[in-house]
A and B are shown apart, each in its own frame.
Chain A
Amino acid sequence: MKDAKVIELEEVAIRFSGDSGDGMQLTGTLFSDAAALIGNDISTFPDYPSEIRAPQGTVGGVSGFQVQFGKKEVTTPGDYAHVLVAMNPAAIKANARFMDPGGTIIYDSDSFTEKNLQKAGYETDDPFTESNLLDFRKIAVPVSTLTRESLKDFGLDNKSVLRSKNMFALGLVCWMFNRPLDYIEEFIKNKFAKKPVVADSNIKVLHDGYNYGMNLQHQTPTYIVHSADIENGTYRNISGNQATAWGFIAAAEKAGLELFLGSYPITPATEILSYLSERKDLGVKTFQAEDEIAGISAAIGAAFAGDLAITSTSGPGLALKSEAIGLAVMAELPLVVVNVQRGGPSTGLPTKTEQSDLFQALYGRSGESPVVVLAASTPSDCFFYAYKAAKIALERMVPVILLTDGFLGNGTEPWRIPKMAELPPITPRIAKDADTFKAYQRDENLLAREWAFPGMKGFEHRIGGLEKNISGTVSHDPENHQKNTEIREAKVQRVVDLIPDLEVCGDPDGDVLVVGWGGTFGHLISTVRALRKEGKNVSLAHFNYIKPLPQNTMEVFKNFKKIVVCELNLGQFAGYLRDKMPGYQYYQINKVKGLPFTVNELKEGINKLLED
Chain B
Amino acid sequence: MTDLSYTIKDFKSENEVRWCPGCGDYAIMNAIQRTMSGLGISKEKFAVISGIGCSSRFPYYMSTFGFHTIHGRAAAIASGVKIANPDLSVWVITGDGDAMAIGGNHFIHTIRRNIDMNIILFNNRVYGLTKGQYSPTSDRGFKSKTSPYGTIEDPFVPGQLVIGARGTFFARSIDSNIKLGEAVYKAAAKHKGTSVVEVLQNCVIYNSGVHNAITNPEFRADRQLVLEHGKPMLFGAENEKGIIMEKGRLKVATIGENGVTMEDILIHDAYEADPTLHMAIINMALPDFPVAFGVIRNVASPVYNEEMDKQIRLVKQTRKINCADDLLSSGNTWEVTGRGNGKGKLKDCRGKKLE
Chain A residues close to B by CB (< 8 Å) = 33, 36-37, 39, 41, 73, 75, 183, 227-237, 246, 249-250, 253-254, 258, 260, 262, 279-283, 285, 287, 289-291, 293-294, 297-307, 309, 323-324, 326-327, 331, 377-378, 380-381, 384, 387-388, 416-420, 423-424, 453-466, 473-474, 500, 503, 505, 525, 540, 542, 544
Contact = CB atoms under 8 A, between A and B. Distances in A.
B219 interface: no
Contact of B83 (A233, A236, A287): A287
Contact of B334 (A234, A453, A474, A540): A234
B7 interface: no
A323 to B, nearest CB: 6
Contacts of B311: 280
Interface string B192-209: 000000000000000000
Contacts, number: 271
A453 B87 CA distance: 12
Contacts of B46: 454
A258 B354 CA distance: 22
Contacts of A307: 80, 84-85
B40 to A, nearest CB: 16
B73 to A, nearest CB: 4
Contact of B332 (A227, A237, A423): A237
Interface string B67-92: 11110010011111111110110000
Nearest to B85: A305
A237 B331 CA distance: 10
Nearest to B74: A297
Contacts of A298: 76-77, 79-80, 83
A466 B60 CA distance: 11
A29 to B, nearest CB: 11
The 8 closest A-B pairs by CB, nearest first: A301-B80, A464-B68, A231-B344, A298-B80, A232-B340, A297-B76, A305-B84, A281-B319
Contact of A293 (B15, B47, B73, B321): B73
Given A260-B83, A294-B76, A304-B81, A234 B352 contact: no
A42 to B, nearest CB: 12
7 contacts: A73-B344, A229-B340, A258-B84, A281-B321, A287-B79, A381-B352, A454-B81
Contacts of A327: 69-70
B44 A454 contact: yes
Contact of B336 (A233, A282, A503): A233
A525 B351 CA distance: 12
A547 B83 CA distance: 31
B327 A282 contact: yes
Contacts of B322: 281
B80 A297 contact: yes
Contacts of B80: 260, 262, 287, 297-305, 307, 309
Contact of B345 (A230, A299, A324, A417): A230
A388 B340 contact: no
A297 B345 contact: no
B323 A282 contact: yes
A306 B84 contact: yes
Given A456-B44, A460-B65, A285 B354 contact: no
B316 interface: yes
A133 B25 CA distance: 77
B51 to A, nearest CB: 10
B247 interface: no
A234 B329 contact: yes
Contacts of B339: 39, 227-230, 232
B67 A380 contact: no
A303 B81 CA distance: 8
Contact of B106 (A290, A300, A326, A466): A290
Contacts of B341: 229
B312 interface: yes
B344 A230 contact: yes
A234 B83 contact: no
Contact of A294 (B83, B105, B353): B105
A36 B85 CA distance: 42
A572 to B, nearest CB: 22
A460 B63 contact: yes
A384 B353 contact: yes
Contacts of A289: 76, 109
A453 B344 contact: no
Interface in B1-32: 13, 15
A235 B354 contact: no
Contacts of B344: 73, 229-232, 416
Contacts of B352: 377, 381, 384, 500, 503, 544
Contact of B77 (A36, A304, A505): A304
Contacts of A33: 332
Contact of A420 (B43, B77, B324): B324
A420 B321 CA distance: 14
Contacts of A460: 43-44, 63-65
Given A249-B327, A283-B312, A459 B44 contact: yes
A514 to B, nearest CB: 12
B329 A462 contact: no
B355 interface: yes
B59 interface: yes
B237 interface: no
Contacts of B329: 234, 236, 417
A454 B340 contact: no
Contacts of A423: 354
Contacts of A233: 335-336, 340
A505 B323 contact: no
B328 interface: yes
Nearest to A280: B315
A408 B62 CA distance: 47
A273 to B, nearest CB: 15
A279 B316 CA distance: 10
A33 to B, nearest CB: 6
B66 A462 contact: yes
Contacts of A418: 328
Given A230-B344, A540-B349, 6 more contacts: A282-B324, A291-B105, A300-B80, A381-B351, A465-B69, A465-B70
A75 B350 contact: yes
Q: In this complex, which of B70, B311, B323 has the most chain A Cβ atoms within 10 angstroms of its Cβ? A: B70
B258 interface: no
A304 B67 contact: yes
A297 B81 contact: no
B348 interface: yes
A443 B10 CA distance: 30
A581 to B, nearest CB: 20
B323 A424 contact: no
B69 A388 contact: no
A283 B84 contact: no
Contacts of B342: 231-232
Contacts of B308: 285
Nearest to B342: A231
A362 B325 CA distance: 34
B346 interface: yes
A436 B8 CA distance: 25
B151 interface: no
Given A229-B339, A234-B335, A387-B354, A420 B323 contact: yes
B42 interface: yes
B323 A302 contact: no
Contacts of A542: 349
Contacts of B265: none
B52 to A, nearest CB: 8
B276 interface: no
B70 A324 contact: yes
Given A306-B85, A455-B44, A460-B65, A279 B77 contact: no
Given A229-B340, A236-B333, A462-B68, A424 B354 contact: yes
A456 B85 CA distance: 12
A301 B340 contact: no
Interface string B297-318: 0000000000010011001100
